[in-house]
């Protein structure tokens, strides 16, 4: 049951989206295209963030009242879904990945010194951040393969390796990375890795290239390949302790997966609304598209699937609140498989209903399709989540 405070926030959020976010989506993209470089903060984002913060629509994802709105995952769910309807909305409210997960890590696992240096500016959207985990030379779907080296050297750690798909690293305000690497190859499998805080201006940290997604640059955030060549950071930049990288990762990825699912549902809802409006106004073979049997099936299937995905994802949010990340892992895995796949199908139907316009830049559908396809890989591919779900079922046995 949504609390009164969350319901009030949702009402205000929806009003802000209608008045400020949707009307400025084209302005945002126009400013990005006309910027001096592909990766620059468009002025409209600063304006929207200032307005959102003034209205108290800020850091809504953080359950810790000290830092955010103090909402449970279940109460945050409908807000996150609404934000997912727009590419720019999560950033407007300072609720966009990877900063959300990184802020959670700093809030829960970092020293007071690291919080003062990095968490406070992130909470204020003064800086951005990246999460350096995935590597080009190993199958990172099995995170135990992560092989970038973290080596202790006196009062510092020295880092060597290469990461890619480090979201946000191309943003002009990206100042810090949270880095997962192997610190002890001889330790038990899930205690070999550690997490370090690495400032972007550390000598030896070099952006190799920006990776496009189906041809989209994802400006101004970027997905970067980054080389770490004898990058040296103070020992106090270690999070929680050596060998505890997986522990931190599980704490970070649980809510992160939930947020991806919720934003996917919001995107699917918008695609369905667009499809319905389109088929009402278009005529083919003597009658409106809305009266064509196959179109009616698309609409019905989309509504059924979206509602199913929402129920599954909201259930995962409640389990996460009640029992924590580890206990909710299978519910989160199920939602993570279902929500992006549902959104992909709904967006695909909407594209089909729009015809040529659907694959053009005249609607948000083509870019939405590209984005949602990546979510079947991000935070674990479908196959890994399905394997986890199956193992859980196999352990249950028979009654």
Average pLDDT, the chain: 95
Between 4 and 370, the more confident residue is 370
Q: Which position has the token pair 């949010």?
A: 317
293-323 pLDDT per residue, tens = 999 999 999 999 999 999 999 999 999 999 9
Share of the chain above pLDDT 70, in %: 99
Q: Per-residue pLDDT averaged across 215-236, rounded? A: 91
Question: Before 220, cis peptide (omega within 30)?
Answer: yes
Q: What is the pLDDT of residue 4?
A: 84
Residue range 344-353, pLDDT digits in tens: 999 999 999 9
Strands 149-153 and 156-167: antiparallel
Residue of higher predicted confidence among 172 and 199? 199
pLDDT on residue 250: 85
Distance CA 70, CA 145 (A): 36
Strands 193-199 and 174-182: antiparallel
Average pLDDT score over residue span 18-24: 98
Q: Is 374 exposed, middle or buried (0-12, 13-18, 19+ CB in 10 A)?
A: middle
- In the block, tokens 């249950």 appear at 396
Q: From CA 20, how far away is CA 32, in angstroms rounded?
A: 18
Q: Is the pLDDT of residue 106 over 90?
A: yes
Digit-coded pLDDT (tens) for 107-162? 999 999 999 999 999 999 999 999 999 999 999 889 899 999 999 999 999 999 99
* CA-based nearest residue to 322, from 11, 74, 18, 31: 74
What angle in degrees, to the nearest 10, is found between the helix axes of 293-323 and 245-281? 150
- 143 — phi, psi (to 5°)? -65, -20
What residue ranges define each of the domains in the chain, with the CATH number in brackets?
Answer: 4-96 (1.10.540.10), 128-238 (2.40.110.10), 246-396 (1.20.140.10)
Looking at residues 25-42, what average pLDDT do you find? 87
pTM of the predicted protein model: 0.95
pLDDT of residue 103: 97
DSSP-assigned states of every residue in 182-211: ES-TTS-GGGSEEEEEEETTSTTEEEEEEP
C-alpha closest to that of 165 among 200, 203, 105, 207? 207
CB 264 within 8 A of CB 379: no
Q: What pLDDT does 206 receive?
A: 98
- What does the pLDDT read at residue 1? 43
Burial classification of residue 123, based on how many CB atoms lie within 10 Å of its CB (0-12 exposed, 13-18 middle, 19 or more buried): buried
Percent helix, strand, coil in the chain, to 5, is: 55, 15, 30
The pLDDT, as a whole number, for residue 233 is: 98
Measured in whole angstroms, how far is the alpha carbon of residue 51 from the centre of its chain?
23
Nearest to 143 by CA among 320, 381, 376: 381
Terminal CA-to-CA distance of the chain, rounded, Å? 32
**pLDDT over 90 (residue 398):** no
Confidence at 2, pLDDT banded by 50, 70, 90: low
Q: What is the pLDDT of residues 377-396, one digit of tens each?
A: 999 999 999 999 999 999 98
């Amino acid at each position: 049951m949504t609390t009164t405070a969350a319901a009030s926030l949702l009402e205000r959020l929806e009003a802000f989206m209608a008045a400020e976010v949707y009307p400025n989506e084209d302005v945002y993209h126009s400013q990005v295209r006309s910027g001096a470089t592909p990766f620059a903060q468009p002025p409209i984002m600063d304006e929207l963030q200032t307005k959102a913060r003034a209205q108290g629509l800020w850091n809504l994802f953080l359950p810790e009242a000290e830092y955010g709105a103090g909402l449970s995952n279940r109460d945050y769910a409908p807000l996150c879904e609404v934000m997912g309807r727009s590419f720019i909305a999560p950033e407007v409210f300072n609720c966009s990945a990877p900063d959300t997960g990184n802020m959670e890590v700093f809030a829960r696992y970092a020293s007071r010194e690291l919080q003062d240096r990095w968490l406070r500016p992130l909470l204020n959207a003064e800086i951005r951040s990246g999460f350096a985990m995935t590597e080009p030379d190993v199958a990172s779907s099995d995170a135990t393969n992560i092989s970038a080296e973290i080596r202790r050297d006196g009062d510092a750690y020295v880092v060597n390796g290469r990461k890619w798909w480090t979201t946000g690293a191309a943003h002009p305000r990206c100042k810090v990375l949270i880095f997962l690497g192997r610190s002890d190859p001889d330790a038990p499998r899930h205690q070999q890795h550690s997490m370090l805080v690495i400032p972007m201006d550390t000598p030896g940290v070099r952006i190799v290239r920006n990776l496009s997604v189906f041809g989209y640059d994802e400006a101004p955030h970027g997905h970067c390949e980054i080389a770490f060549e004898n990058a040296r950071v103070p020992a106090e930049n270690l999070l929680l302790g050596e060998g505890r990288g997986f522990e931190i990762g599980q704490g970070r990825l649980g809510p992160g997966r939930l947020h991806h699912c919720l934003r996917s549902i919001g995107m699917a809802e918008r695609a369905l609304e667009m499809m319905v409006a389109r088929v009402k106004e278009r005529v083919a073979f003597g009658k409106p598209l809305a009266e064509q049997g196959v179109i009616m099936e698309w609409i019905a299937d989309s509504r059924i699937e979206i509602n199913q995905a929402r129920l599954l994802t909201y259930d995962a949010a409640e389990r996460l609140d009640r029992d924590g990340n580890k206990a909710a892992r299978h519910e989160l895995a199920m939602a993570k498989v279902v929500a992006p796949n549902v959104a992909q199908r709904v967006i695909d139907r909407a594209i089909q209903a729009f015809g040529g316009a659907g694959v053009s830049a005249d609607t948000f559908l083509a870019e939405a399709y590209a984005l949602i396809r990546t979510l079947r890989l991000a935070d674990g591919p479908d196959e890994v989540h399905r394997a986890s779900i199956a193992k859980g079922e196999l352990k249950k046995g028979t009654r």
